[in-house]
Amino acid sequence: MLTKNSGMRAFSLCFLILMIAISMFAEQELATLVYPPFKHTWGIHKGTEAKLDMLLDNATDFENPQCLAVTRLEAWDNPKTGKDDDELTAYGVNTGRNQIIYNISMYKLALYGEKGSGEGQFNNPLGIAADPKGDVFVCDFGNGRMVHLFNDGDGLEWQSSFGEDILEEPYDVAITEADTIFVTDRARGTIEVFDYSGKHLKTIENLVAPTSIDVDHKNVSNSRYAARFIMVAEGNGTQLSKLTYDGIQLNSADLNDITANKGKFTYIALDYYDNLWVTDSIACNIHKFDYKLNYITSFGEYGENDGQFDHPTGIAIWRRFGQTVVAESKSAQYMWLGSDILSLNTENTVNRDGEPRLKIDMFLADRSYITIDILKDDEPVRELYFKKRQGQGNRILWWDLRNDDGRRVTPGVYTMKFTIEPTYSSYTYFSKTLTKQIEVE
C-alpha cells in the first residue's frame, strides 16, 4: 500500500511550486486523478499568475511553461523522522522567460536563469530532470546543449554545459540516478546517452522527431518493477514507443488509435507501477497507458474548473505517493493519482459442474481495493469481497449465488454495491460507490 496517513504537508508543494491560488471545493468522489482533501492542502490545488506575483514580488510571469521535475531532496531530509518524506522539491521550466522556477524551502520560491548562451543562461529551455542528490539537468534547446545544475538545499548553482558538439535540438531529458542521462534530440532523430560528467556514452538512432522521454531502472527512486526500458514520444507527439536501452522497440501506441479529434502527446511521466501518463496540449486532457502501452483512459477536458486543463504541457509524478504536478498555459495543478471503475457488467452463467454463478466483469483504471456487498430489499445477503486488492485493467470476479451462511439464495432481484478505493496517498481519503441491479434466476 502506498500511503501516508500523517504528516503529509502537500499544501507546501502546492503553495510553493504550483504558485497556487486558494480554491474551495466540495468533497470529491474517486476518479483517475483527484485533488487532495482540504485538510492536506487547505483547499489549495491550482496556481495562478496572481499567486506567482505575490510569491516572487512580480519578478516573472508564466510564459510558455514546459517540462516539470519533482524529487525528494536529500539535503532537506531529517533521517530521524518520516514526517517530512513527502516534502518535495519541484522545478518548472518557464521557457518563454528562459528560467527555472523552483522552491528553495517549503515556503519560498526562487528563479534561475536568463536569456543568453553563457553560464547561468538559457535559450528556449524545454526538458528538465532532477535527482535526490541535487543534480539537475536542463535541455537548453536553443543553444543546442545540456546544462548541469546542482541544488545543495539552498539553491541552484551552475556546474557545467555539455553536448554542444553532438546535440542539435535537445528536447527532453530523463535520468536513472545511476550516473546516466538520456536526451532526446528532435532534429537528429536520436536519443543521446551521457554520464553525469557530460561524457557521451552512445547514440540510439532511427527515431522520428523524438520529444518527451522517461526511463525506468533499478536506481530510479520508488519504482515498483525497476525494469530497464525507455518511454519516448515520437513523430512530434503522434506516437509513443517503449524501447530497450539498446533502442529495440518493445511496444508502441498511436495517437489516432485513442482519439478521433486532434491531439498531441506533449510530455510524459511514469508512475510507481510504470504506467505512463501523457499530457495532451491540444485535446487538453491527460492520457494513461499501462507499462506495455495499452491504453487505459483519458482524464479531463478544456477549461479552468476542477477536472479541466488549459493546454497542459509538463507533468511530473513523485512515484512513492502518487503526487502529481501538471503545468498549464498560465497556471499549474497539484493532484493525486486515484483510480476508477471504467466499465462494469454482470452475467448469469454456470461453472464446470453446472452450478449457477454470477460473472462480474469490470475494468479498473488502476490497482484498487474492491468491496462488494450484495443486498436484497436493502438487507445484507453476502459480503462477497472486502477491500480485495485487484490489478489494473479487465478483472473478472465470481459470486456462487450463496449468502453469508453458505446457503443458495432464492431467485429474484438483488442489488450489488461496489466500493472502489485507490492504493496511493489517496487511499482512505477517496472512494467511489456504485450499485447494480441483478436478477438471480
Domains and CATH numbers, the chain: 10-337 (2.120.10.30), 341-440 (2.60.40.4070)
Residue of 268 and 23 predicted with greater confidence? 268
According to DSSP, the β-strands at 308-309 and 301-302 are parallel
Q: What is the pLDDT of residues 205-245, one digit of tens each?
A: 999 999 999 999 998 988 989 899 999 999 999 999 999 99
Confirm if 354 and 365 have CB atoms less than 8 A apart. Answer: no
pLDDT digits (tens, 9 = 90+) for 275-306: 999 999 999 999 999 999 999 999 999 998 88
Q: Rounded to whole angstroms, how far apart are CA atoms 96 and 98?
A: 6
Q: Is the pLDDT of residue 3 over 50?
A: no
| pLDDT tier, 388 (very low <50, low <70, confident <90, very high otherwise) | very high
Q: Of 275, 177, 272, 193, which Cα lies nearest the Cα of 231?
A: 275
In contact, 405 and 427? CB cutoff 8 Å? no
From 93, 117, 89, 115, select the one nearest 103 (Cα to Cα).
89
Can you give the pLDDT at residue 314? 96
Range in 70-84, 338-352, 377-391 with the lowest mean pLDDT: 70-84
Enclosing H/E stretch for 41: helix 38-41
Residue pair 363/128 in contact (Cβ under 8 Å)? The answer is: no
Rg for the chain (alpha carbons), in Å? 23
Q: Express as a percent the part of the chain with pLDDT over 70.
A: 85
Which among 110, 112, 103 has a CA at the least distance from the CA of 75? Answer: 103
Give dist(CA 185, CA 369) in Å, integer: 42
Q: Is the pLDDT of residue 120 over 80?
A: yes
With beta carbons less than 8 A apart as the criterion, state whether 128 and 90 touch.
no
